[in-house]
Amino acid sequence: MSTPSKTRRPRRPKIVLSSTRLAELEALSEGMMRRNPAMAEQLVEELARARIVAPSRLRSDVVDLGRKVTYRDETAGKDHTVTLVLPQEADISNGRISVMTPIGIALIGLAEDAVFHWETRDGHRRELKILKVFPLEREALQRA
């Protein structure tokens, strides 16, 4: 007698957020609940599993709003560099993507070298890897 095999879902990488960012993203998700409940719920799920730290303890290699990040789409073999921003600051032509998009939600709080699976809006599954997170200019100056 064989036992039914369970399809294992890939483990999601750990995410880390600052306490101030958590409050900001919770407010964003509440506002998004009426316009796009599925997207808002996806963000809420990510926030629920995040490790929360004081803003001064958020490492510079963790994706946060305003930070530029380079990631590789392992499926397509392409690298992308974007800056994660609030929805009102988004401008895809300038590489500024909203945290309230599927890729924005997937990126927030990840550290360099994290590998994660992401489903595109048209239902395709991608494997992405964080290659580099660039600190904000003021963060770089404070560390110098």
User: Over the stretch 82-98, which tens digit does the pLDDT of each residue have?
Assistant: 999 999 999 999 999 99
Domain ranges of the chain: 16-135
User: Which amino acid is located at 11 in the chain?
Assistant: R
pLDDT at 138: 57
Given pLDDT bands bounded at 50, 70 and 90, which one contains residue 2? very low
Whose CA is closest to 42, among 65, 25, 20?
25
Given pLDDT bands bounded at 50, 70 and 90, which one contains residue 139? low
Q: Is the pLDDT of residue 108 over 60?
A: yes
Question: 98 near 85, Cβ under 8 Å?
Answer: yes
H/E stretch holding 27: helix 19-32
pLDDT at 76: 87
Q: Is the pLDDT of residue 143 over 50?
A: no
Average pLDDT over residues 117-141: 79
pLDDT at 125: 83
CB atoms within 10 A of CB 110: 26
Is domain 16-135 classified as CATH 3.10.50.30?
yes
Taking the model in full, what pTM does it have?
0.83
Would you list the DSSP string of 47-80?
HHHPEEE-GGGS-TTB--TT-EEEEEETTTTEEE
pLDDT at 63: 97
Q: Is the pLDDT of residue 144 over 70?
A: no
